[in-house]
Amino acid sequence: MFSGSRSKQSADQAAEFLQAFWAWGNAANLTAQLTSMHPPAPAEPVSVAEALGDGSSLARLLGETTQGHGVIPMTMLSDLPAIFSRLEGVKDRHDAAITSVRAAALSVRQAETRRLMAAMPVERLREATRERIVVAPLKAAGLVTVWDALQWRPHDQPVTGMGEISSTRIKGAAQTMWASTLEEVPARIDVSQRTAETGRLLEWLQEWRGIRRAAGFLAAGSLLHDLGFIRQLAPAKCSHLLLMPSRMQVSQFSEAVSALRETAARVDGALSPGVRRDVWEDFLADPAGYFSMLAELGLHPEDETKTQGDLSPALVEAIRSCELRTDNLKASLRGYQAFGARFALVQKKVLIGDEMGLGKTIEALAVLSHLRSTGETHFLVISPAAVVTNWMREIASKSELRSHRLHGIGRESAARLWMRDGGVAVTTYDSLRWLRDAHASRVAVACVVVDEAHYIKNPHAKRTQRTVELLDRSPRAILLTGTPLENRVEEFQGLVRHLQPELVVDAGEFSAARFRRQVAPAYLRRNQEDVLVELPELVEVDEWLPMSPADLSEYRQAAIDGNFMRLRQACLIRGEESEKVKRLREIVAEAEDNGRRVIVFSHFLEVLHTVARVLPGRVFGPLTGSVPAHERQSLVDAFSSAPGGAVLVCQIVAGGVGLNIQAASVVIICEPQLKPTTEWQAIARARRMGQLHPVQVHRLLNEQGVDLRITEILARKRELFEQFARDSETARSASEALDISEAELAREVIAAERERLFSQPHEPTSP
């Protein structure tokens, strides 16, 4: 078998080894020893309790570490592997949905860019290249737009008089124009042009909304990490799980498993397709939510410097580094809203003065949701009675927080539930005395939110004092108002003093710019044009009208009587004999032809009843201060669901505060108001985040008389607001910021009107 001597030698050595080993085994009786080591028949398995009993070898081996141990049958955890698999797939679905949204948004932007370039004359290429190219041959060949030049293939479609170098330059210029235009075009959603590209974008946004919420539930904690070891166990070979109290106690493990199952249920609920309505209907029901999702992905870019207001770089950096937990928040936050919420968390007590319509409510809810995620339980919202219902709705629809209505019938039982279970209590300024005396002293409120905070500008008012008492006791507070300064700088100072008194200094000592820098640690304001790139156009029209004979008769009598308020409404109360009423009817008729809804604002009840009587069609209201708070929202809902041409008649001090009326896109203000902020509030009820149509504002003004006088005098108040409360470059001494009170204004106007009307003989007006 072996052909070589070396192979034979190796075989001889192996044989000698085996013979020697056999001899040694026999001498040592190795066979008997191996036989005696054969295991006996398997013993019966011991119970878990016996295995861990004091006398067991396992207990001795574990020693003292068995103190506080626990044993859980694997059958109680049998559902966890499937839960892990489902939850771990959410992140992949979330990332895929974002990718699809971005791709769909790019398609929308590309379609819009094509439309723009198809309407752009080819001469623009010359402008873009400083007239270094010639486009006349292109036009002669029928290529008249930039889009034509971009699509042009010189080799397939030669142009007479156009060489290779010129062709290359034109193509390069067209491609640069395309890239530059595409970069500037946002992902716009236009309800008047429902393109296929926009429809696909809405479909993916609708899909992402559910997945995003599900992913938010997972991002809140570390359950998947803490319980990840369970995935490594083999249920078929492992009957029980022995828990040793090292990283977590047995009770904590059980709580974590329960929390994981609860999270899985919430995730499954968020991902459940349910009955989805048409994407355009879904968008029209919540346009602000869709725009917020686009902004969250950077598809509606915001000016970061405007988002930050007048804050110092060090404070901005602290705000950026603050982690904002949104697991208890259902709504998407725009970038500036998330920044506002972080600002409130970092600074603890702040005044958010964002312009009306930017979503101050959702910023406050984001703060409360974050605090709830960190273990806080009790929160309080103080608001005018008119907006309590709106707060209850917003809490339910935008967050996972539980709300309690501490106003009206049932407030006692609601207060007891709030004290026991926690959540957000919503009450009114008028209910503060009851709340303080009955319940507030027994509850540690983690954060107080004061809506329409200009209600507490008067330091001597009881509601101000009661509110400040609650603010002082709470570690956190958020004042919300779009009009922090209505008349005097001192009002603005008072609001800041409630929060951070050390910031308040004498405004008369320095410029408005310095004043804004001083209060910046407590005050944040952003304006609509700075952060809402999708906000439709605002068209303001001052309708200067003559007086009719009936108007003049009423006006003269009011001047004789020295009745300032009567002067203001004199040209509206004679119904169809009044020029303002005639013009109002014309505006409403035009709005009906265009399918638009209308809000009519006036300060005076008699004017509102007159308007409601003379207007044809669907008229809702008047919505006045006497309408119960819960009925106001119902009235707005009915108006919002009515067809175009519907009119909502509102007292400006009632309908101009708190309510959201985006269904209307035509606003009529019957007479100039004594505070410019009153008009701004009223307009912002319609022109706010979520409005899809250009908003027309018509101010009905008389050519002579009180209307002209008021508009001239109140220009001073607008300038004051621009200097101190709005982000403005104007810097004037605060000592010039003087106000004329309403009584002084009335005396001045009446004196001027008497002199104008009666200094010369009365000339009868022809009927």
Rounded to 10 degrees, the C-alpha dihedral 33/35/36/37 comes to 90
Q: Is the model's pLDDT at 168 over the cut of 50?
A: yes
- Collapsed DSSP state (helix, strand, coil) of residue 382: strand
Q: Is the model's pLDDT at 659 over the cut of 70?
A: no
How far from chain centre, in Å, is Cα 307?
A: 13
Give the DSSP letter string of 452-489. Answer: SGGGG--TTSHHHHHHHHHHHHSS-EEEE-S-S-SS-H
More confident of the two residues 443 and 439: 443
CB count in 10 Å sphere of residue 102: 16
Q: What is the percentage of the chain residues whose pLDDT exceeds 70?
A: 72
Tokens 């308020």 sit at which residue?
A: 565
The rounded distance, in Å, linking the Cα atoms of 367 and 474 is 14
The rounded distance, in Å, linking the Cα atoms of 436 and 406 is 12
8 Å CB contact between 642 and 660:
no
Please tell me the predicted confidence (pLDDT) of residue 309: 57
Confidence of residue 446 (pLDDT cuts 50, 70, 90): very high
> pLDDT averaged over the chain?
76
Give the residue from 519, 482, 527 showing the smallest Cα distance to 356. Answer: 482
Q: What's the pLDDT tens digit per position in 505-535?
A: 654 555 566 666 777 788 888 776 666 655 5
8 Å CB contact between 395 and 364:
no
Q: Which distant-in-sequence residues (6+ apart) come within 8 Å of 86 by Cβ? A: 264, 267, 268
The rounded distance, in Å, linking the Cα atoms of 504 and 502 is 6
8 Å CB contact between 224 and 218:
yes
8 Å CB contact between 651 and 599:
no
The rounded distance, in Å, linking the Cα atoms of 667 and 699 is 8
Confidence of residue 500 (pLDDT cuts 50, 70, 90): confident
Angle between helices 250-271 and 80-118 (to 10 degrees): 40
Please tell me the predicted confidence (pLDDT) of residue 356: 65
Q: What's the pLDDT tens digit per position in 585-606?
A: 888 887 887 778 888 999 889 9
Cis bond upstream, residue 622 (ω within 30): yes
Q: What is the mean pLDDT of residues 71-80?
A: 75
Structure tokens that stand for 481 in this block: 């108002």
Q: What's the pLDDT tens digit per position in 567-590?
A: 888 888 888 888 888 888 888 887
The rounded distance, in Å, linking the Cα atoms of 186 and 106 is 9
The rounded distance, in Å, linking the Cα atoms of 149 and 135 is 10
Q: Is the model's pLDDT at 379 over the cut of 50?
A: yes
8 Å CB contact between 549 and 687:
no
Per 3-state DSSP, the chain is made up of helix, strand and coil in percentages (nearest 5) of 55, 10, 35
Q: What is the mean pLDDT of residues 617-627?
A: 83
Q: Is the model's pLDDT at 367 over the cut of 90?
A: yes
Q: What is the mean pLDDT of residues 43-67?
A: 61
Q: Which distant-in-sequence residues (6+ apart) come within 8 Å of 425 by Cβ? A: 378, 379, 380, 381, 403, 404, 406, 414, 415, 418
Give the containing element (helix H, strand E) for 695: strand 695-702
CA distances to 127, 237, 552, 663, 753 from 586, rounded to whole Å, are: 45, 83, 21, 20, 29
8 Å CB contact between 294 and 300:
yes
CB count in 10 Å sphere of residue 17: 10
The rounded distance, in Å, linking the Cα atoms of 98 and 204 is 8
Please tell me the predicted confidence (pLDDT) of residue 727: 43
Q: What is the mean pLDDT of residues 335-344?
A: 86
Give the residue from 637, 539, 635, 633 showing the smallest Cα distance to 591. Answer: 539
8 Å CB contact between 446 and 373:
no
Confidence of residue 131 (pLDDT cuts 50, 70, 90): low
Q: What's the pLDDT tens digit per position in 719-766?
A: 655 555 554 222 222 222 223 345 555 666 677 676 666 665 544 443
8 Å CB contact between 336 and 344:
no
Q: What's the pLDDT tens digit per position in 239-270?
A: 777 776 666 666 777 777 777 777 777 777 76
- Work out the burial of residue 767: count CB atoms within 10 Å of its CB; fewer than 13 is exposed, 13-18 middle, 19 or more buried: exposed
Give the residue from 723, 720, 722 showing the smallest Cα distance to 511. Answer: 723
Angle between helices 605-614 and 579-593 (to 10 degrees): 50
Please tell me the predicted confidence (pLDDT) of residue 151: 83
- Work out the burial of residue 22: count CB atoms within 10 Å of its CB; fewer than 13 is exposed, 13-18 middle, 19 or more buried: exposed
Q: Which distant-in-sequence residues (6+ apart) come within 8 Å of 517 by Cβ? A: 310
The rounded distance, in Å, linking the Cα atoms of 579 and 583 is 6
The rounded distance, in Å, linking the Cα atoms of 297 and 75 is 43
